[in-house]
Chains A and B, each alone.
Chain A
Amino acid sequence: MNEDLKKTLLNPIFKGNPITVLVLGICSSLAVTVQLKGALVMALSVIIVTGLSSLVVSLLRNSIPNRVRIIVQLVVVAMMVILVDQVLRAYAYSIDKQLSVYIGLIITNCIVMGRIEAFALGNKPIPSLLDGLANGAGYGMILVIVAFFRELLGSGTLLGFRVLPESYVPNNLVILPPMALIILGCIVWVQRSIQKDLQEK
């Protein structure tokens, strides 16, 4: 059991990463990775939403009528997303203004519904919570890595603090979405050269 939990927790971080292996949630990872701060907030929001939605759906799993299960799942996910948005609006207003469009789109983030359908509906609450949190973390980790390079090379700063010397000319290409896709491609490349069994023939 303990081994299982460990696997549930670690698998989504690297071996079964939702972005690089399952290729879910690509659009938001392109959109919110211009600055590290936004990426961190987005990562945290997704972790909370995936974790809590999986937990709630898992608690309800035996009572949900099969025919309307997607609708019930959507109600739960949408509620969590609106709660996160409301809390951010109260406590991190400037970030919420930047991210509010994407926060709303967490509802449609395939990772959330994907994990509920694939895991939470058939597992006990605690493993489901961990699975949700871990998948959110796997998503968040990639987001933060991409944002790290984009903010460093695109603005010469990290979390708003200047890191590279003033003489560094910011590379505007890195700010644009295509560069996020290129960095993401590099991450996939690195991961697949480490983990040979992911390579397709």
Chain B
Amino acid sequence: MNTNNNVYTIVYTTIVVVVAAAILAIAAMALKPKQDANIKAETISQMLTAAGFSDKDALAKLGNDQILAMYSGNIKTAFLIDKDGNKTGELETDVNDIELQDNLKVENKNIAAGNPSLPVYVFEKDGAEINVIPIYGAGLWGPIWGYIAFDANCSKIVGAYFDHESETPGLGAKIKDEAWFREEFVGKEVNFAKPDDSFDIIKGGAPKDDKSAVDAITGATMTCNGLDAALDTWFKAYMPFLQKKAGAAAADDDACCGGACGKECDGQCEHEHNHQEG
């Protein structure tokens, strides 16, 4: 048979491509549940790392089930808020049926459109609440995202974790790889006075007394600018919620310190303070 015939060539290549596509489609469908479970465990382990329960590398060695169990065991509540910071719905936290609001790309668009449905994950660690929120934005080559953990009244950041899809290894990828960069965020605050630019990543070093800025990474200017914009956008979207939390905590403190429990309150404040420094 003449295999160089035009009709033969076209029919042959068509069949090869269709067969290959069919095989890939079947494989993708068959493996999808397993892959989704991996992605869910990955998302949860990023949150647990940000909240300080474990370390990403240590979690990678655990199985998916153990990661989900650790999440369920430590979470207090998870819920969705609207753009005004009002609770609109609960997220299931039971180990067999964990719900996450992890399509951050869609929410990023919704923030711009003004109708986001944002998740807040409230963990409990050593008797204190830790509020974990996601951030999402564009790096140099692809999306970057992360989780920021706040203390009980959302006044101070207690941890952060960032990840990326395709930032340059050794440069932009350091937002994920370098522990010192994540640790810079600990103890920082969101600047409520400047809602449009509430956090800065400054090239050449952040001023020591600036509580809402960290140092950028050398050689990763574009990635850091993207992360800066992502933080500003998402902190702004969460601002009503964060302010409400901070306001409520301030009111609580006033009531407590002025009232009968003044003695205990001192102790508590000091404890809180030490905890954050350590």
Contact = CB atoms under 8 A, between A and B. Distances in A.
B24 A63 contact: no
Given A65-B13, A90-B35, A93-B39, 18 more contacts: A64-B12, A65-B9, A68-B12, A68-B13, A75-B16, A75-B17, A75-B20, A79-B23, A82-B27, A83-B24, A83-B27, A86-B27, A86-B35, A87-B27, A87-B31, A90-B34, A93-B38, A97-B42
Contacts of B39: 93
Contacts of A90: 31, 34-35, 38
B103 interface: no
SS of A interface (majority): helix
Contact of A72 (B8, B16, B34): B16
5 contacts: A72-B13, A76-B20, A83-B23, A86-B24, A90-B38
B257 interface: no
Which interface class (under 10, 10 to 19, 20 to 34, 35 or more) fits B? 20 to 34
A80 B38 CA distance: 22
Interface in B10-32: 12-13, 16-17, 20, 23-24, 27-28, 31
B4 interface: yes
B3 A79 contact: no
B60 interface: yes
Nearest to A78: B20
B68 to A, nearest CB: 14
Contact of A63 (B12, B20, B27, B60): B12
Nearest to A93: B38
Contact of A89 (B5, B13, B16, B35): B35
Interface of A: 60, 63-68, 71-72, 75-76, 78-79, 82-83, 86-87, 89-91, 93-94, 97, 101
A186 B24 CA distance: 41
Given A71-B13, A79-B23, A90-B31, A64 B38 contact: no
A82 B3 contact: no
A86 B31 CA distance: 7
A86 B25 CA distance: 11
B51 to A, nearest CB: 20
Contact of B31 (A68, A72, A75, A89): A89
Contacts of A76: 16, 20
Given A63-B3, A66-B4, A67-B9, A79 B35 contact: no
A162 to B, nearest CB: 14
Contact of B4 (A65, A82, A83, A93): A65
Contacts of A87: 27, 31
Nearest to A92: B38
A14 to B, nearest CB: 32
A97 B59 CA distance: 14
Interface in B189-233: none
Contacts of B31: 86-87, 89-90
Contacts of B5: 65
A78 B17 CA distance: 11
A60 B5 CA distance: 17
Shortest beta-carbon contacts, A-B, top 10:
A93-B38, A90-B34, A90-B31, A65-B9, A79-B20, A94-B60, A65-B3, A90-B35, A89-B35, A86-B31
A90 B30 CA distance: 10
B178 to A, nearest CB: 14
A76 B16 CA distance: 8
B3 A66 contact: yes
B189 to A, nearest CB: 32
Contacts of A79: 20, 23-24
A93 B41 CA distance: 10
A68 B15 CA distance: 13
Nearest to B41: A93
A78 B41 CA distance: 29
A72 B9 CA distance: 10
B102 to A, nearest CB: 15
Contact of A65 (B12, B20, B23): B12
A156 B166 CA distance: 28
Q: Report which residue of A65, A66, A68, A72 has the largest number of chain B beta carbons within 10 angstroms of its beta carbon.
A: A65
